[in-house]
Structure 1
Amino acid sequence: MAPADDSALPVQAVHEDADILVLRKPAGLLCVPGRGPDKQDCLSARAQQRWPGALIVHRLDQATSGLVLMARHIDAQRRLGLAFEQRQVHKRYVAVVQGHMGQADGGTWAEIDLPIAADWERRPLRVIDAALGKPSLTRWRAESHDESASTTRVLLEPVTGRTHQLRVHLAAVGHAILGDALYADAATQALAPRLLLHASDLALAHPATGEPLQFHLAPDF
């Protein structure tokens, strides 16, 4: 069953308090405004209409769905930005990829450690580049296999936070994400009506109280 296009729905909060927002971003919606009048509708603009003063902390690709963290004021934004910089925010994603990737044993995590650089002639694309790329590390674990479709459902944890990191890493090891219009071949793109990549989990310390917080949002695929 194809995921519904819910990018036009009002912004939905998984959590809100005086300092932070945890929002559900649908696939197809920008996190921040793009260039041109047709790219002004975005998650941050919708959030600011409902929570004036809300500030972006991190982003998901337009094609990716899932949890996005925003700050309610500048001090929270600064603290959360530092937490991301120091890798104190734990993120987990779910994806469906082409091919049989690893063993679905429920416990073993593997790594993709390949340097990523901007592809300046084809921006905004990224490439694996041993000479110019920045160190980039992704942890992954196979969750299940669909032998009839020759696909694998995987959990992903980006240790670094490069642009398009998960998409580039998976394509580089021969397991592009279904529906990926940038890094998958035409056949893999055609296997899904959207990019099957979803930010399912966030764990962090509350910027004001230090309380440990955990949030989960299951994907619709």
Structure 2
Amino acid sequence: MVDKPAGLLSVPGRGEHLADCLIARLQAVFPTVRLVHRLDRDTSGVMVFALTPLAQRHLGWQFEERRVKKTYIARLWGEMAEREGVVDLPLKVDWPNRPRQMVAPDGRPAVTRWRALRAAGGETRVRLFPETGRSHQLRVHMAAIGHPILGDPFYAEGAARDFPRLMLHSESLTIRHPDGGRSMRFSVPAPF
């Protein structure tokens, strides 16, 4: 388990200026480390990596089969009236504006459950439970219901964008250990 800081890529980007990334830093210490999943550059929080090809396959399978329980913490624009809900909107790439994603009837299924924790001062702190793992899913879904994640450079507008970072944090992951299947939960509190 690793606590990824906001602003650091999970894997290298295109170009020498985007070579610094979490996996490169880990491989400097653990040469056999292998990628299992990713977080957006601007998202902080829990990530798991594998040390063997077998572990990578098993953990990857858990993500593909939606057997991993994921929770995120986010600060959203506006005070939500409801205490909880589900966003079930299909997503696809917004090709002319890549890497942006968009809600589209012909997109891939995407489902996010959410629960409000606190609403005050023009914002709402929520816990998000993605049931699928689409690119930018949480960011697009929250913006689509009128409550973009604060500091989001792609999907927030105006004052909602004017924050020092994206207010999205991978709070916890629950997986089965690749060797024996024991349930393991990793968590890191949100830094905001």
Q: Distance in 2 between matches of 1:103 and 1:127?
A: 24
Does residue 136 (structure 1) correspond to residue 115 (structure 2)? The answer is: no
CA deviation profile, 1:137-193 (whole Å, cap 9, x unmatched): 0000000011xx210000001101000000000001100000000100021011x21
Q: Distance in 1 between matches of 2:16 and 2:81?
A: 44
Q: 2:133 aligns with which of 136, 145, 161?
A: 161
Deviation at 1:103, TM superposition (A): 3.9
8 Å contact kept, 1:25–1:67:
yes
Over the residues paired in the alignment, what is the CA RMSD in angstroms? Answer: 0.9
Report how many residues are paired. 192
Aligned AA (1:135): P
What's the TM-score, normalizing by structure 2? 0.98
Does residue 25 (structure 1) correspond to residue 1 (structure 2)? The answer is: no
Q: 1:67 aligns with which of 39, 46, 53?
A: 46
Query: Which residue pairs with 1:206 in the alignment?
Result: 177
Query: Which residue pairs with 1:46 in the alignment?
Result: 25
CA deviation profile, 1:47-81 (whole Å, cap 9, x unmatched): 10111110000000000000011000111000001
Q: 2:152 aligns with which of 151, 174, 180?
A: 180
Aligned AA (1:212): S
Q: Distance in 2 between matches of 1:113 and 1:102?
A: 19
Query: Which residue pairs with 1:19 in the alignment?
Result: none
Task: Name the % identity.
Answer: 47
Q: Distance in 1 between matches of 2:86 and 2:82?
A: 13
Structure 2's unaligned 5+ residue stretches are: none
The equivalences for 1:108-147 within 5 A come to 109-130=84-105, 132-146=106-120
